[in-house]
Amino acid sequence: MYKNSSYGPKEMKAKEIINHRVTGKRLILDAAKQAFEETTGCNLQVLEVEPAGENRPDALVQINAPGGEIKKYHVEIKGTLTNATLGYIAERICRFEEIGILVTRHVNPQMSERLKTMGIAFMDTAGNAYINNPPIYIYITGRKKLDVPEKKTMGRAFRPTGLRVVFALLCRPELVKAPYRDIVKATQVAQGTVGWVMNDLKQQNYLADRGKHGRKLINTVKLLDTWVEYYARELRPRLYLGKYGTKKTEWWKNIDWRNTNALLGAESAAAFLMDYLKPETITVYATEEVNQFLLTHQLAKDVTGNVEVLKKFWAFDCPWNYEGIAPPLLVYADLIATGNDRNIEAARMIYDKFIHRFIEEL
């Protein structure tokens, strides 16, 4: 069947998945382009799809501005826009070399205003758009959602249990070459799940099997970005154990986290790591035996409280020098998920100091 191709069955499957993903994004881009031109009267050209580069956008487009001036934009295409993924998208767009623009299926009026406040340009398939790049100023909102064919591309690696495996591989890269039983021990998922996830990572071009040299993660920057996006949407909500309050002020600063069954995350972790934030929410990752911790620190259930407790979902020690603080990738992802401008800035600082070089060396 494959005698006339240089690809074997596995390579053909991987190529099919990648093409499937690109085609789905192109459908959204083409629909948004048509709607943008119809509602604004401006001409938009797609110059490149997936141009080369470390922080590679999905496309490069050009808008012909009034007076003949040409404006180029790097494009981030997202099928669905939610509060959970907004921070990730904002951080991605800030990394682009050209001005960035979000292209998505639909932006409702409330989200339109939020994107405008954050200074994020966007256009959708209904003709809603915001661009503030003189001489271009466009703000169209309130147009109803249109039906655009959607191609589902989320594989097992980015479902909740798969995300636990990918997290372990990114934090402890030596596990990539390890027997599956070691990955099971670090992630507490079934061995069959590990096998499915590893196969899916190969198919999505995130993992290379080099025979006697073992497995190796590839395209690690994109893998990390994808993990951050899906973590906020697929895994984090399932970890939520509740909100708590206490009369004690700054209690979290005055305990030895190394002697607890919990770790600090998000804003509170960033406050320790960077001395940049005054956290509004204290995020704690704890094991299921959390009652003693709650009693010791006088934390009571309170839907208006400023302490959020989430289930610790990994079973390995992170190889870094900050005991009692969640792994930097998780701190980064949680800050991004808030969608708060100052938290996103802190996330960038954590990425630059603790993650960037590490990911590059994988």
Q: For residue 7, with 0-12 CB atoms within 10 Å meaning exposed, 13-18 middle and 19 or more buried, which class applies?
A: exposed
> How open is the CA angle 220-226-236, to the nearest 5 degrees?
125
Query: Side chain identity at 96, as an amino acid letter?
Result: F
Q: So where are the chain's domains?
A: 9-140, 156-221, 239-361
Q: What CATH number labels 239-361?
A: 3.30.460.40
Q: What is the pLDDT along the chain (362 residues), one digit of tens a residue?
A: 223 334 344 444 444 433 444 457 888 999 999 999 888 888 899 988 876 555 678 899 999 876 777 889 999 998 888 888 888 888 888 888 778 999 999 999 999 999 999 899 999 999 999 999 888 899 999 988 876 555 555 678 999 999 999 999 999 989 999 999 999 999 989 888 899 999 999 988 899 988 778 888 988 888 998 999 899 989 999 999 899 988 887 888 888 887 788 889 999 999 888 877 788 899 999 887 788 888 888 888 988 888 999 999 998 888 777 888 999 999 999 999 888 888 888 998 999 888 887 776 66
Tell me which residue of 149, 157, 211 sits closest to 189, measured CA to CA. 157
Q: What CATH number labels 156-221?
A: 1.10.10.10
Phi, psi angle pair for 44, to nearest 5°: -120, 125
Residue linked to tokens 């959602």: 145
Is 200:155 a contact under the CB 8 Å cutoff?
yes
> What is the predicted pLDDT for the residue at 3?
32
> What is the predicted pLDDT for the residue at 147?
64
Phi, psi angle pair for 153, to nearest 5°: -125, 0
Q: Which helix (H) or strand (E) holds 328?
A: helix 328-338
Report d(CA 93, CA 166) in Å as an integer. 23
For residue 175, the SS3 value is: helix
Q: Is the dihedral of CA 266, 350, 159, 289 positive or negative?
A: negative
pTM of the model: 0.75
Q: And the tokens for 132?
A: 């503030």
